[in-house]
Structure 1
Amino acid sequence: MSSTTGGDSPDESNVNVAGAENVISVGAAVAERISATVAKLVEDKVASRLAGSDHTLWGPAAEAEAIKRLGWLSSTLVSAPFVDQMAELRAEFLDEGITHVVLGGMGGSSLAPEVITATAGVELTVLDSTEPGQVLAALADRLDKTIVVISSKSGSTVETDSQRRAYETAFEAAGINPIDRIIVVTDPGSPLHESASAAGYRIFLADPAVGGRYSALTAFGLVPSALAGANIGDLLAQTERFQPLLSDDSPNNPGLLLGAALAAGAPAVDKVGLIDNGSTVVGLGNWIEQLIAESTGKQGTGVLPVVLDAESFEANHVLADVLPVRLVSQLGIPAVDEIQVAGSLGAQFILWEFATAVAGRILGIDPFDQPDVESAKSATRALLDNRPAPTAPNFVDQGIQVRGDQKLLQGVSTLSGALRSLLSTLTPQSYISLQAYVNRVAHPELAELRDAFATATHRPTTFGWGPRFLHSTGQYHKGGAPTGVFLQIRSIPDVDLSIPERPFTFGQLITAQADGDASVLESLGRPVLVLTMTDAVRGRETLLAALADAYRSA
């Protein structure tokens, strides 16, 4: 590896790390800010200790969890048998004319396969929603040629369990034996492992020593990706070639540099803008988002990932609390206050996992637990058990039902006024979280709201599809810095779908998930505005017009 520092020209004042792959280039201002932190990491031999699975790196309170969660460091070895197994199984399915792969999974079980297959250019239908229209569309798509991978680490994820039940019923109605068309990926001994074994399903067991968000190179990432046609052998080889660079106790270690850049500036710089600037890895930011948010967003601290593209407001304006990280295909010369990251997909997976674990040490938190995720699940279960009558909206304007606490909406009677009231709570350290509990396949245009809100407010803005984001940024929203301002967007489904052998429907489930999460956020004192669209087709335009009016009237 090599590095160059010093000098006045941009070319000479950036740190460029090389090795088996060029992966990171650090702008001069960032390099100066993190230099002392990196030196301390080198002095403490953090790289070699982490590479050697030292579970004491995060302090005594984290040891019990960390000792069970470092298996990702040896995933290339443990996962090697999947290469031939999956090749044989894929060939078997292709011979039977089964060409369509669906993945039912959430969070770590779906985000890595989505990136792997998109980067490989192969088709994988990712069903990570409980929105009834989205579920019905998946069930109606080439069922006779479909194999379904049901993927859950805990084996008790309500979304995944519901998706499995829906597909079992659909296959049976079509005269297809579900045993022949459903594959299960889970941890040994999980409830799903036990029930799937009893039913006779094909089962692939993942390494239980790997947490969900670090599981890209385990069965969770590899089984659905390989069945869809991605070359997982190449992926593991990429990781294996790069990983030795991370064990070097050197100030040029890319994992130490990236980990320090993520965490050393907190709490003043506590957000990272993940800017897709021509990266050949498709959708990498969405995977990194979950990894960083769930790993660091706890105990009132953490790093908030904001997924961006090159045209986003945050990618083109200096925000004091945001570190811009440009994901590029080839390293160049970054701006002094930015970082560039490149490299193969396998290198990216292990680099970001390593750096996130390092960031956890710097922040003084356990990067392997997720203490606040259960709160929204508990609230959802309580609502499903009781199924209270829907609360009346505070008011309806332009076909959108508006709900919020009395303090937020006191004296407000218009949609633009409600937005103005919510956004008036922003501070120089705040972020906006847009959460759309809507069919993301039918209404992808709603994601465009993110750029509009960021441009209008000059504040970093995240966008998440519900309930998908509950398994990603949901942990940070509740456990991280209490600076979020939340806009929840819902729609009234045109259709609903029963969940076999469950006393609730998909429509009731997604409503309970949205209500449960909003109630937890409100109980923590976070400002939450809930907008329910009666016409989702016109929803984007209505909200954009109301946002513009809110700022004209400000």
Structure 2
Amino acid sequence: MSSLGLQATGAALEAVDRHVPTLVEDRVASRLAQKDHTLWGPAAEEEASQRLGWMDLIEDSRALLPQIEQLRRELQNEGITRIVLAGMGGSSLAPEVIAATAGRELTVLDSTDPEMVGNVLAADIQQTALVVSSKSGSTVETDSQRRVFEQAFTDAGLTAGRHMIVVTDPGSPLEQTATEAGYRQVFTADPTVGGRYSALTAFGLVPTGLAGVDVAALLDDAEEAMEMLRDDDVDNLGLQLGAALGGTTPLRNKLIFSDEGSGIPGFADWAEQLIAESTGKEGTGVLPVVVHAGDPETQSPLAEAADLLQVRLVAGPEDRDDEESLEPRTGDHAIEVFGSLGAQLILWEFATAVAGRLLGINPFDQPDVESAKAAARGLLDSPAEQSPADRTLNGMDLRGPADIIDAEDLASVLRGVAQAVPADGYLSIQVYLDRLGMAEVEQLRPALASLAGRPVTFGWGPRFLHSTGQYHKGGPAHGVVLQITADSDTDLEIPGRPFTFGTLIAAQAAGDASVLREAGLTVVQVHLTDRRAGVAELLGAVSSA
């Protein structure tokens, strides 16, 4: 295992010094290792009692490895070499970072955008195996992806079930569907492990193992780290990290995640879901803001804001050219973490549970995620004609507060969005487009951060609904939302459903916007009638703003 280490400075170090001795005295580490469900208070006990299986999953996960390897060999012998993962939230974010870190190809389909689904569907269908990954099996995105792939395999003259693999909880509707349809293999995972804590269960291991990742080494690293995390000791890195995340006073509730050579691509995106969905509730929580080194949130004066804590993912000493890179920076309030992927996965899960105790919340529920789902279902069940836009500008339909969208040009509208962010708030850019084909829209994030002088998050819809969406609705109501949707030149039917992918993603965006407004957030919606031209115009406008 590569070394695992942490350094805290400023307010983060103060939180470590203040809280870790008490956490040791209260035996939090050993009690967590023993699955003590009383650690988060009476209100959390019922949920926690069913959600601590991640503390001792290594043995069960190792038992899966021969099955995964045998299936991988069988698929390769049949010329099935492309693995596509249909999953959302924890079912997709962990496999994505595991595969990327190992340099293995895994296509993660976590969208209902018809262009993205269509593009993934069109590539090498004969050589494709679909891993359908869902704890319940009822997640609308994953169910829709399963249906359209099953039809595509059949239309290509293939036996669909031979190309379909399922990862789910035992007894779920998806397990029943897969068994009745004769899918190639069904893997079941421990139902006492929540989705965002499932990286080292079948949900993380099956798709990545089939893609060729050495998942045994991943488990080895995690197991070694877990030995340290069980100790009631002031040197326990899980206690230190949890104290820094949830124990600063006053709470630094924006975590600015930047990767400065960790060698773990995409790790911050996984941590974003874990932390935001676990802590963002009851009007509190901490919001991860994923940035690049050198972005506005890492530079003065924005980096020095009193509600920000820098989180730097760095290389370990043995991989570092500059031994001075972990030296404290002047005026720094930061956490710097290094280590192998398996070790860090279990470290951050442990620390998030500890942070939940310090914040006084239940880190295992997600009470506000369902609200957006319910709003989308309502629009799908009883479609209402879309109300006219508040304004049309340059071929874009705008909806939102008049003092923002009635500005003279698009650059002024974007400037107004940035200026609407309160002094202790954040801007959330939510883009319902093809994340694999239109990554350039992410350039909006640092540009708007410069304009706003405040942290800016970026989320691809609908995947962020299973991640930061919980914080947006359950955390402090000090966010401003810029939602970007678009027409598509193509649409896709969903077999057995009365709606298309285009209808579904539109309902998800509209439903979430409605819930966010009800939660007290300022929401500006921009709908592009021509997605590629519209994105180019937005980028041009933010540059001139």
Give the equivalent residue in structure 2 for 1:100: 82
**What is the number of equivalent residue pairs in this alignment?**
531
Contact 1:23 1:254 in 2 (8 A): yes
Alpha-carbon RMSD across the aligned residues, in angstroms, is: 1.6
Q: How does 1:278-289 map to 2 (within 5 A)?
A: 278-289=261-272
Give the equivalent residue in structure 2 for 1:330: 316
Deviation at 1:173, TM superposition (A): 0.4
The equivalent position to 1:438 in structure 2, one of 419, 425, 433, is 433
Deviation at 1:404, TM superposition (A): 1.6
After the TM superposition, which of the residue ranges 251-260 and 209-218 deviates more from structure 2?
251-260
**Helix, strand or coil for the counterpart of 1:80?**
helix
Question: Aligned partner of 2:232: which letter?
Answer: D
Distance 1:423 1:178, change over 3 A: same
Q: How does 1:391-430 map to 2 (within 5 A)?
A: 391-405=387-401, 409=405, 412=407, 414-430=409-425
Contact 1:315 1:324 in 2 (8 A): yes
Question: In 1, Cα distance between the equivalents of 2:292 and 2:403?
Answer: 35
**Helix, strand or coil for the counterpart of 2:252?**
coil
Contact 2:85 2:130 in 1 (8 A): yes
The equivalent position to 1:363 in structure 2, one of 340, 343, 359, is 359
After the TM superposition, which of the residue ranges 259-268 and 85-94 deviates more from structure 2?
259-268
Give the equivalent residue in structure 2 for 1:510: 505
Deviation at 1:76, TM superposition (A): 1.1
Q: Deviations over 1:321-357 (max 9, x none)?
A: 1110110112522434222101000000000000000
**Helix, strand or coil for the counterpart of 1:401?**
strand
Deviation at 1:406, TM superposition (A): 5.1
Question: In 1, Cα distance between the equivalents of 2:214 and 2:276?
Answer: 28
Contact 1:490 1:533 in 2 (8 A): yes
Q: How does 1:262-281 map to 2 (within 5 A)?
A: 262-265=245-248, 268-281=251-264
Give the equivalent residue in structure 1 for 2:273: 290
After the TM superposition, which of the residue ranges 275-284 and 30-39 deviates more from structure 2?
30-39
Give the equivalent residue in structure 2 for 1:9: none
Contact 1:21 1:242 in 2 (8 A): no
**Helix, strand or coil for the counterpart of 2:399?**
strand
Question: In 1, Cα distance between the equivalents of 2:534 and 2:25?
Answer: 54
Q: How does 1:97-246 map to 2 (within 5 A)?
A: 97-201=79-183, 202-246=185-229
Distance 1:153 1:419, change over 3 A: same
Q: How does 1:428-507 map to 2 (within 5 A)?
A: 428-507=423-502
Give the equivalent residue in structure 2 for 1:372: 368
Deviation at 1:538, TM superposition (A): 3.0
Question: Aligned partner of 1:350: which letter?
Answer: I
Q: Deviations over 1:342-394 (max 9, x none)?
A: 10000000000000000000000000000000000000000001111122111
Question: Aligned partner of 1:262: which letter?
Answer: L
Question: In 1, Cα distance between the equivalents of 2:236 and 2:141?
Answer: 40
Question: In 2, Cα distance between the equivalents of 1:144 and 1:69?
Answer: 39
Contact 1:402 1:415 in 2 (8 A): no
Contact 1:30 1:337 in 2 (8 A): yes
Q: Deviations over 1:527-552 (max 9, x none)?
A: 000001123223344223433555xx
Deviation at 1:266, TM superposition (A): 5.8
Contact 1:408 1:527 in 2 (8 A): no
Deviation at 1:422, TM superposition (A): 3.0
Distance 1:523 1:406, change over 3 A: farther
Question: In 1, Cα distance between the equivalents of 2:16 and 2:7?
Answer: 13
Give the equivalent residue in structure 1 for 2:60: 78
After the TM superposition, which of the residue ranges 219-228 and 334-343 deviates more from structure 2?
334-343
Question: In 1, Cα distance between the equivalents of 2:328 and 2:509?
Answer: 40
**Helix, strand or coil for the counterpart of 1:110?**
helix
Q: Mind listing any 5+ residue stretches in structure 2 that lack a counterpart?
A: 318-325
Question: In 1, Cα distance between the equivalents of 2:73 and 2:126?
Answer: 17
Distance 1:267 1:422, change over 3 A: farther
Question: Aligned partner of 2:264: which letter?
Answer: V
Question: In 2, Cα distance between the equivalents of 1:417 and 1:178?
Answer: 51
Give the equivalent residue in structure 1 for 2:530: 535
- The percentage of counterpart residues that share the same residue type is 54
Deviation at 1:420, TM superposition (A): 3.7
**Helix, strand or coil for the counterpart of 1:503?**
coil
Give the equivalent residue in structure 2 for 1:348: 344
Contact 1:295 1:370 in 2 (8 A): yes
Give the equivalent residue in structure 1 for 2:322: none
Contact 2:254 2:308 in 1 (8 A): yes
Question: In 2, Cα distance between the equivalents of 1:505 and 1:59?
Answer: 44
Deviation at 1:311, TM superposition (A): 2.1
Give the equivalent residue in structure 2 for 1:4: none
Question: In 1, Cα distance between the equivalents of 2:538 and 2:249?
Answer: 33
